[in-house]
Structure 1
């Protein structure tokens, strides 16, 4: 456990002391372009909390994302109120173009690997132009954790996969306020019982309120629409703060969902805020301009 914290601290220090290249605000917080009328900087980062935002990285920009969730606050003093426990995801996201991103990641939860494509189809414009930004998102996740012995391990490789499809629709109303809707479908090739939904539908909603130039308050909520899943699992609610520091965005998060991939926090979330099933965690985003451009 100590080695895990030492590694996390070293990673944070290395990221923080690395020479800042371009200001991250040029990725997700630049001012509106007078030349094109495009509205930019709807959100500070490519994540609202657990879920994706409409933001994409610029062409040639590589983003390294460290996501970490401790245990629940109600785990008590023996577990140091969750700090003795940890779930982590490491991810890389790359801008093939200004609109098209590709990403990969690995989570410690169920030893899950995930990959995604993200395409900004429409971008909000000033005045009477396009009123919203629309980004399409699709991902695949594979569980590599061994099957439980009692199951006999009689599963095909395809049973390890799940898929997510989202339409991320957002509007920047003012320099301070941005809101987003995220219609979501999670398809699972294997479910625990015949009663469970293979296709789980949910509606995500969230937004951010800018407090200062470099900080904002974020909220995110995923409401389960599939009736059978809604009976056994909980809607994911996340609250947090974004803190931008040059080439980094630190996101401090309180959530009732442990997983940081859609297959976890949408269809199989079990935490109750009212019972103290609250996971404190963070996302750290660091960008690298691989093409050496001055601006993105």
Structure 2
């Protein structure tokens, strides 16, 4: 084989290798650009609008993550104005123990038991919309909530079977306005199968508002208020209001608060609140939650 021919073959081989390398680099570049383009077309969802699944008494738009089990202890002492004999309410208490489980990142189920009227409750919660940024993102989050509560206290009247049930339906609308401030609106319908008199309302309508102001990485102020729409229930009972303080400690969220409502589920604190803030009919309490991951995501 002559030298010129050998030199020509080497030049051809070098050109082929250079072309293949360039083609591979172009393919990698195109793949990277395509991935970046696809990522830029996806919305970035807002997280931690509220730190827990509860604001104070009421529920927030948050749900446990998929395969996450949340154990929640809610505790209320007696009225602060009950006097020194009752140690300003510390001698008296009501409690609710609850479990919440995330079937998916957006769908959760929960059950609980309250000492008040020996009540069992359960709920379904679905995050319909998620606030985010980017193309097609929503300006707010929306979560649907449906609950039922069964009182097992011995009343000694005609409250038997399904007449002991109360249902709650809520649309929770929330927006994280800034990294520190979140607000929430809660249109609410409560249906009671049993009411004491014909003047009482089986269907009670209310509108709640809530807010969370973050102070530091681990501390935040919270507040919520439920306004009863005009009717017999609004005439007999008070609007529920609560102010609280959230403390984040690792896997726990510890909430301290003061409220004029004794009950810790919608059946009680929305249509049956009797306490008056200006008269000191207040209950000091706390919520403690602990999350457990039960499976892969």
Interval of TM-score (by shorter of Structure 1 and Structure 2) = 0.7 to 0.9
Normalized per residue, the structure richer in helix is 2
How far is the alpha carbon of 1:147 from its aligned partner? 1.1
The residue that corresponds to 1:279 in the other structure is 283
**How far off is 1:161 after superposition?**
0.2
- Find the residue that maps to 2:46 and give its secondary structure: coil
Q: Aligned partners of 1:255 and 1:232: how far apart in 2? A: 18
Q: 1:137 aligns with which of 124, 140, 145?
A: 145
CA distances 1:194-237 after superposition (whole Å, capped 9, x unpaired):
11110000000011000001110000000001421111000000
* Matched ranges for 1:118-267 at <5 A: 118-127=125-134, 129-148=137-156, 153-267=157-271
TM-score (norm 1): 0.85
Gaps of 5+ in 1: 1-32
TM-score by length of structure 2 reads 0.84
The answer for the alignment partner of 1:50 in structure 2 is 57
Encode CA deviations 1:64-100: one digit per residue, 9 max, x unaligned: 0000000010000000000000000000000000000
Question: Structure 2 unaligned runs (5+)?
Answer: 1-38
Which 4+ runs in 1 deviate beyond 4 A?
33-36
- Report the aligned-residue RMSD: 1.4
1:126 shift after superposition: 1.5
Contact conserved, 2:159 with 2:194, CA < 8 A, in 1? no
CA distance in 2, matches of 1:193, 1:234: 18
2:190–2:205 Cα contact (<8 Å) kept? yes
The answer as to 2:73 corresponding to 1:69 is: no
Query: Offset of 1:36 from its aligned partner?
Result: 4.2
Local SS of the residue matching 2:57: coil
Cα distance in 2, alignment partners of residues 289 and 36 from structure 1: 26
- Kept in 1: contact 2:173–2:185 (CA 8 A): yes
Residue 270 of structure 1 pairs with residue 274 of structure 2: yes
Structure 1 residue aligned with 2:7:
none
Equivalenced residue count is 257
Distance 2:80 2:134 in 1: 46
Question: What is the CA deviation profile of residues 96-125 of structure 1, one whole-angstrom value per residue up to 9, with x for unaligned ones?
Answer: 000000000000000000000000000001
**For the Cα contact (< 8 Å) 2:43–2:134, is it kept in 1?**
no
Q: Structure 1 CA distance, aligned partners of 2:253 and 2:274?
A: 28
Shift of 1:156: 3.1
Higher relative contact order (CA 8 A, sep 6+): 1
Whether the 8 Å CA contact 1:200–1:226 is kept in 2: the answer is: no
Q: Given that residues 202 and 226 in structure 1 are in contact (C-alpha distance below 8 angstroms), is that contact kept between their aligned partners in structure 2?
A: no
Computing the radius of gyration from Cα coordinates, the structure with the larger value is 2
State how far apart, in whole Å, the 1-side matches of 2:89 and 2:155 are.
26
Q: Residues 57 and 264 of structure 2 are in contact (CA less than 8 Å); yes or no, is this contact kept in structure 1?
A: yes
